[in-house]
Structures are given as C-alpha cells and as structure tokens.
Structure 1
C-alpha cells in the first residue's frame, strides 16, 4: 500500500502537520512507518478515516483522554459513552446560558446606573423604571443603614448558589416610607437582588417584582453621615406631591467600577413609586 508523507496526509485530512506530530507524540495515532535515516513520518491511506474520527470527536468537545478511551469502545458501550458526553454538553450549555444571562444582566444594570448618573447626585428626580425581577428574603433581625449586612447578603448568595445561579453586584433593601428621625429607626424589611433568569424553580416563593412605573428618586455615593438627609429630602418631596399616599422605599446600591475599594464606591439610589394616577 502506498505510503503518504506527513505533509500530504495533513492536506488530505485538513489538519496541520503540527497536529499530526502531536497525535504521534501522545500515542493517539502513530504513523505507519518512519524513515530511520531522516526520521520522516509516513502514513497509509487507511489511516485517513482514523484521523477523521479523532477530528470528529475533538470537534464534539471531547478531551484527548476521552477520545483515547472512546477509540477502544464498540457497540452499546460506545453508544452509552457518547450519550453521557451528550448529557455533559447539555449541562455545559445550561451553565453557559446562565453565564450569558448574568453578563447581559450586568450590562442592563450598568445601563441603569448610567441613567442614574444623568441626574445630579443629592437631588430628587423622577424617572421611569421598567419591571425588575428580584429574589428577596425577609430580614430575620433588625438591620438599619448603620449596620454592615454582609452576613445577610451572603445568605441570599448562598440561597442562589444552591439553586444553580448566583447573585450579581447589585444588592438592595426595602422598608416602609415613614417619618424617620434617625438611621436607627429605619429597619429593613426585605433583602433583595435582581435576577435575570427564570430557571430558579426552587426559589419561586422568593421571586418578586419591582413594578414598572415612575419613581421619585435620589442618588448619592454611600454615606452613613448623609443618608438620613438624603432620605428626608426624598420623603419631603414625595409627601408634598402625594400627601395621602404611603409607599415602599427601595434602596438599591451599585458599584460604578470593578476595582472596588470600599463601600464609598457604591452609588445608592433611594426610590419610591409614584402613585399611578399621578403619572
């Protein structure tokens, strides 16, 4: 049978010479002969299909070791092996889809942050906010803006991770709109984070919506010293415009950079929904 040089074989199989040398080095497929004088590799035409099988399996996402294992299988064993590989690919696709949802969600949040930054910080403004899906858990103990609720937000993260997803870089709290004279009087009722996937069947009882609508808002870089002043500004203007209405305050904090250095890098927006008849 005619021998084929490594260069010819590479052209026939549409692979590089380096690839064939690599297959030889790792004992995946060896040349049929080697010239002892110049060490040139030679293949047989029958090996073309063997190389094509390896290419096919690599293209299917199998590792070299998985390919090596599959080459020794036949019949039902080979079918079972490939079925398992298919299941693993399905799992990879689901993970990639969730990663894409998280990235698209981050883009959405950064776009929302850009909208916030169009307004002067420390000034009350009104803006429209589209409906947002959130996961929220009740605050089990008293938490105020004076506290550092890392433990509580970590519990929310843990809940999400157990259900195959993860929180994002934006966390929030909600509490009733009232006349507060100190930060210690503000008690968060819910801890929340926005989610961008509906594939959270085990968390349906925690899934809520921030309603679509117009909101009266005030934004500022996080500051315990100035928080109450900003809140009171928002409360005063809301009461002046809508004196007979009560509401829920959403406190949403976002980082404006990934090089996070401390909580003062958070831009916090306090928002209260405007009653629909006033839109």
Structure 2
C-alpha cells in the first residue's frame, strides 16, 4: 500500500510540474505577443512581476555584438538535464552607466526564465535567482548592431532626466522574431531598468 501511495504521489508531482510548465509557457507567449505589439523606439514604463531565472555569471567578455545562441547553450544543457526546456525569452544583465560604444557593454550575467526552481543537478556557476518585481522603464526595438547603442542611450537619457539612482542594472530581454534564424536582426529586444 505504501509503495502505491508513493507512486501516486510521484505521478501527481509530475502532473503539477507539467501544469506549472504549461502556465509558464503561456505567460511567455503572452510576453512575446506584448513585445511584438509594442511600439518600437519609444521609452515607456510598465509593471513587471518577479521573474525566477536560471543564471550564469559571465567569466569572459560577452557583449551585445556576440551571437546570443552560443552563449546560452550552457543554460539550455542544464535545463535539459533537469527534464525541462529553455524559454524562448533570453536575458542579459549589465551595469547601468555611460558607455562610449556598443563594444564597451560587458554583460555581467546571462539568464533565462524558469518555471521550476527546485533544480538539483546544476553545473558549477549556474544557479537559480530572481529578478525583482517592480516598475521598469523600458524601450523595445528590432535588434541591430547599429541601433542597439542608440536605443540604450535614449532609455538612459530618459532615466537620468527623471533623477533615478545612478547605481542600477539594465536587463536586456530578447526573443527571436523568426525561430529559423540566427541573424541578430531577427530578434526583438527590450531593455529594462527598474525604477521602484
């Protein structure tokens, strides 16, 4: 009898995990739709819920000029070993400051959102974290090497004009505009700075 109860509990847990994963993917699709519908190049504010993420700190220099899919492979492998998959929305984080050019941006970490936080077999340097809930000042744009810097400067200028704290982070969220593409310009990017 105890063995049957254990099997049933395991099956219930698997179903609950699947339900969480489906809800997470539904939220990701809603976020993707919202980002596609956003007016590009305009600074706006929005409330963003807390996000559970799987994160890795950058030990080498990774910039917006680098090809994203290569840098996120380690996170994808870690999630596959946990029996789940990587979300289409990938993110990077870097310090908010003035930059001379796009080559000077150095990501401090890379992340992907997750629905399951009880991950047990993560490789060294990969960890579960969260990005706080709050109001964020944002700008969305079709990713391009030439436009990234201009959009960042526009967001930073708006942030600075309102007198927000100078010590902060920029969260960059990107999603493919076309899943068959490896071209940087087939990505939509949103830069986010928490304002409260």
Q: In the alignment, which residue of structure 2 is the partner of 1:105?
A: 24
- In the TM superposition, residue 201 of structure 1 has moved relative to its aligned partner by 3.8
- In the TM superposition, residue 101 of structure 1 has moved relative to its aligned partner by 2.8
Q: In the alignment, which residue of structure 2 is the partner of 1:245?
A: 166
Q: In the alignment, which residue of structure 1 is the partner of 2:149?
A: 228
1-side partners of 2:36 and 2:12: how far apart?
36
Is residue 97 of structure 2 the alignment partner of residue 208 of structure 1?
A: no
Structure 2 residue matching 1:206: 3-state secondary structure: strand
**CA deviations over 1:165-218 (Å, ceiling 9, x no partner):** 221111110000111121110001101000012332445x71211111100000
Q: In the alignment, which residue of structure 2 is the partner of 1:177?
A: 96
The structure whose Rg is larger is: 1
- In the TM superposition, residue 157 of structure 1 has moved relative to its aligned partner by 1.2
CA RMSD between the two structures: 2.5
| Residue correspondence of structure 1 range 1-279 to structure 2 within 5 A | 87=7, 94-203=13-122, 206-242=127-163, 244-256=165-177, 259-262=179-182, 263-274=184-195, 276=196
2-side partners of 1:226 and 1:93: how far apart?
48
**CA deviations over 1:9-61 (Å, ceiling 9, x no partner):** xxxxxxxxxxxxxxxxxxxxxxxxxxxxxxxxxxxxxxxxxxxxxxxxxxxxx
Gaps of 5+ in 1: 1-78
- In the TM superposition, residue 95 of structure 1 has moved relative to its aligned partner by 4.9
2-side partners of 1:131 and 1:206: how far apart?
16
1-side partners of 2:34 and 2:61: how far apart?
32
Gaps of 5+ in 2: none
Contact 1:221 1:264 in 2 (8 A): yes
Question: RCO higher in 1 or 2 (8 Å CA, sep ≥ 6)?
Answer: 2
Contact 2:81 2:121 in 1 (8 A): no
- In the TM superposition, residue 113 of structure 1 has moved relative to its aligned partner by 2.8
2-side partners of 1:148 and 1:202: how far apart?
27
What TM-score does the superposition give when structure 1 sets the normalisation length?
0.61
Q: Which has the higher helix share?
A: 1
Contact 1:173 1:191 in 2 (8 A): yes
What TM-score does the superposition give when structure 2 sets the normalisation length?
0.84
1-side partners of 2:11 and 2:50: how far apart?
30
